[in-house]
Amino acid sequence: MNMKIKTENSSKKTQLLCGFVMEKSDKVLGMGKFNSKTNSAISQSLKDNEGKLGRITVIPTPSESIQRILLAGIGKKDELTNDTIRFVSGKIAQKARELKLKELTIVAPPSFVTESGPAVSQIVQGVKMSLYKFDKFKAEKDTNLLELTIIIPKSKKILSAIKSAEIISDGAIFTKSVANLPPNECTPTTLANFAKTLSNNKMKCTILSKPELKKRGFGGITAVGQGSKNEPKLIVLDYKGSKKEKPIVLVGKAVTFDTGGISLKPGDKMDEMKFDKCGGCTVLGIMKAVSELKLPINLVGIIPAVENMPSGESYRPGDIIKLYSGKTAEILNTDAEGRLILADALAYGEKQYSPKTIIDFATLTGACIVALGTNVAAIVSNNENLTKKIMESSKRTTEEVWELPLNQDYMNMIKSDVADIKNIGIGRAAGTITAAAFLKNAVEKTPWVHFDIAGVAWTQIATKEKPYNPKGATGFGVRLILDYLQNL
Ligand code: BES
Ligand code: MG
Ligand code: ZN
């Protein structure tokens, strides 16, 4: 989807002129006057709209240059947040799509400045992200909005905010569009090819294939991947935007399909396990945006990509494998595969790059959905300061997180009788934390935060409806980490 975004000082010719209305207000924010007939139609519609959050009212106008006016309720003045602006802008965009418009204009009131700066960023994100639709495999496609005009006094700051918001939205959309691909169309090799398309003179892409992985001791990745004819890959994107800084390492779980392996999952909703690559896709979207934003940092994205299949070649419960860290792991359930491939990638990231921070994303445990539901991600960390920064970004981007504890008692729960550690904990107890405990074994000394995005990476039964999260993958984490990196 390619949409042109421009700014104007006042509204010109448009198919749809949109303005925001607050609750208990009798005016449309920032909108000028029209002829008396249109003015009275607007006053009448204001009464219908009431400024209720997300309520959309469309008024046909007799004017040639402005075909319709749209009022968008933005709710109570003191409840205005980044998210309400994004949410309502998304509603506007969806209305425009329903009307099959090619172009629309939104009045951005100068008073809309939030914690994260001017509201144009949220307007751009809301419109762009809401119009994304996974229709690659459908003959019938929706009309695409080609142009968005924002009425706002032009300044350098505004123009650069718009440019950044476009890049950030495109990053999240890229994540969604790869994550939504079905497993027959997206193997570890496909993901590696996507990563290659992102490389440029500042971002190098390296792919490690099966023989190399075997030779270099990636025992987790090769064990999980050995049951599938779609061979495992380790994808590395290395972005250099600074001369001296130590890098930050991002790691993302990419299981292109998780059947559970020999510990086969039940059939119900197994199709959703095509989303088990979402962590890796999050990393791809962030890397794409960072290189387009040209951030002055060094960032390495590491994606262990495998398919977890049952076959005569598969790894089994009872196997003991050696991870990249040198530690041995007893396999007790082949469905607890994510932690095995992540452990290799985390240890590799730390040893190879001596990073200042490691952040990982994974659709790691069903237990996370039991604990926190489908609107909040779990985070587990070994560093308070890092957690604090992540939480601040989470507030600004409205990608909610909740921290779970990880002390020695949890580490003890994954000790094995026959190897250094085992790949499941004790019964169902604290499943999200014992998975994180496994990962912690791979990180020796670096500040690290783990995101379990099992509940939030795609829309599920209890997912809160938001226009900018249409059905399917959500791109959770892309905006959050970009906010974190921009505020370093
Ligand atoms: N990819 C799943 C986790 C998952 C399940 C995410 C459902 C979203 C929805 C992961 O590989 C897995 O199967 N985990 C097991 C771990 C268990 C065997 C200890 C789980 O959560 O059941
Ligand atoms: Mg599994
Ligand atoms: Zn999995």
pLDDT tens readout for residues 113-155: 666 667 899 999 999 999 999 999 999 999 889 999 999 988 8
Establish whether domains 2-158 and 177-486 are of one fold: no
Using one digit for the tens of pLDDT, what is the confidence trace for 194-251? 999 999 999 999 999 999 999 999 999 999 999 999 999 999 999 999 998 999 999 9
Rounded CA-CA distance 377/359 in Å is 14
The pTM of the full predicted model, rounded to 2 decimals, is 0.98
Q: Which residues pair with 148 in a beta bridge?
A: 5, 104
Instruction: Let me know if domain 2-158 sits in CATH 3.40.220.10.
Output: yes
Give distance in angstroms: CA of 273 to centre of ligand 1: 9
Question: Which residues does the chain have with pLDDT short of 50?
Answer: none
Instruction: Classify residue 403 as exposed, middle or buried by CB count within 10 Å of its CB (0-12, 13-18, 19+).
Output: middle
Active site residue 339: yes
pLDDT at 422: 98
- 306 Cβ inside 6 Å of ligand 1: no
Q: Is ligand 1 within 6 A of the CB of residue 337?
A: yes
CA distance 198 to 452: 25
Q: Is 423 in the pocket of ligand 1 (CB under 6 A)?
A: no
177-486 topology per CATH: Aminopeptidase (3.40.630)
Report whether residue 25 contacts ligand 1, using a CB cutoff of 6 Å.
no
Query: Which is it for strands 113-114 and 117-118: parallel, antiparallel or unpaired?
Result: antiparallel
Interacting residues of 396 by C-beta distance below 8 A, sequence separation 6+: 82, 115, 116, 483
Question: Could you give the angle at which helices 478-486 and 278-293 cross, rounded to 10 degrees?
Answer: 40
pLDDT value of residue 1: 66
Residues near ligand 2 ion, CB 5 Å cutoff: 258, 335, 337
Q: In this predicted structure, what is the pLDDT of residue 479?
A: 98
pLDDT recorded at residue 32? 87
CB 11 within 8 A of CB 5: no
Q: What is the pLDDT of residue 131?
A: 96
Cα 478 to chain centroid, rounded: 4
The reported pLDDT for the residue numbered 154 is 87
Q: Which of 414, 484, 486, 397 is nearest to 449 (CA)?
A: 484
The Cα 289–Cα 282 span in angstroms is 11
C-alpha–C-alpha distance, residues 309 and 335, integer Å: 10
Where along the chain do its domains lie?
Answer: 2-158, 177-486
Tell me, in angstroms, the distance from the centre of ligand 2 to residue 410's CA: 20
* pLDDT for the residue numbered 110: 76
